[in-house]
């Protein structure tokens, strides 16, 4: 069936998760962070994802803001940057103002002009996602923002991907699901979605039972993949 619905992961896919640490490192007063921000950003993201998986496996769900804070605390301590509480608070504040990748607004506009349904499907809590969408200025280009909080478990649980079908009444093969996380794209492929992995870093494909149908460098080609 033709694609009718384009669904995007949020963090790392539409929004640059390194933006908070990069911005803090450039601000006056945080000069000591300038040499550590890349490690902190990478560890922050890695732990953020690991903690979602562990919480899902152990059935100890908490919202993504709690997970995000826990992951940052680990990353700051690992980098020897945990001595300044003002830095921690600044990084958390900036996480609510993440930048959208440059191609995102035009890409979403092309999808909407082509009659596609557009949505986010994210681990993020609703308030966090609203902050990112507002900061990125893309709210008018999305039909829905779906959060795992409505099912109380993180990706890659199938209940999360089912949110798309439940909301839009579409068949699985009508959905193009886009994620920068290889494991997320693989899980969505196993669920039955057409999938695109945004591999900005040039990483190897995950060794998982299912593979994404498409691997792309950025989001500019999504309208073509959707058949527009």
Q: Encoding tokens for residue 159?
A: 């209940």
The domain boundary residue, chosen from 41, 60, 95: 95
Task: For residues 105 and 191, state if they share a domain.
Answer: yes
Instruction: State the catalytic residue, choosing from 9, 16, 43, 184.
Output: 9
**9 annotated active-site:** yes
Task: For residues 156 and 74, state if they share a domain.
Answer: no
pLDDT at res. 170: 97
Task: For residues 24 and 135, state if they share a domain.
Answer: no
Task: For residues 40 and 115, state if they share a domain.
Answer: no
Closest CA to 181 of 127, 122, 97, 102: 122
151-200, pLDDT tens digit by residue? 999 999 999 999 999 999 999 999 999 999 999 999 999 999 999 999 99
| Total count of domains within the chain | 2
What range defines the domain where residue 32 resides? Answer: 19-95
Distance CA 107, CA 97 (A): 20
The domain boundary residue, chosen from 35, 66, 95: 95
Task: For residues 30 and 123, state if they share a domain.
Answer: no
Task: For residues 174 and 91, state if they share a domain.
Answer: no
Task: Give the model's confidence band at 1: pLDDT under 50 very low, under 70 low, under 90 confident, else very high.
Answer: confident
pTM, full prediction: 0.96
């Amino acid at each position: 069936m033709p694609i009718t619905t384009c669904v995007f992961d949020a963090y790392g896919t539409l929004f640059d998760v390194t933006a908070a640490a990069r911005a803090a490192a450039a601000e006056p007063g945080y000069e000591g962070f300038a040499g550590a921000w890349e490690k902190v950003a990478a560890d922050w993201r890695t732990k953020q994802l690991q903690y979602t998986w562990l919480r899902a496996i152990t059935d100890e769900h908490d919202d993504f803001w709690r997970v995000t804070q826990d992951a940052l605390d680990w990353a700051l301590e690992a980098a020897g940057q945990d001595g300044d509480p003002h830095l921690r608070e600044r990084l958390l504040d900036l996480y609510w103002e993440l930048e959208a990748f440059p191609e995102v607004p035009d890409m979403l506009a092309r999808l909407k002009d082509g009659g596609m349904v557009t949505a986010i499907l994210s681990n993020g809590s609703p308030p966090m996602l609203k902050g990112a969408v507002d900061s990125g200025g893309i709210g008018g280009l999305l039909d829905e923002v779906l959060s795992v909080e409505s099912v109380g478990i993180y990706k890659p649980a199938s209940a999360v991907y089912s949110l798309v079908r439940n909301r839009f009444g579409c068949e699985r093969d009508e959905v193009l699901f886009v994620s920068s996380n290889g494991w997320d794209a693989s899980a969505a492929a196993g669920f039955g979605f057409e999938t695109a992995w945004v591999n900005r870093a040039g990483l190897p494909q995950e060794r998982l039972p299912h593979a994404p149908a498409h691997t792309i460098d950025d989001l500019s080609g999504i309208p073509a993949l959707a058949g527009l």
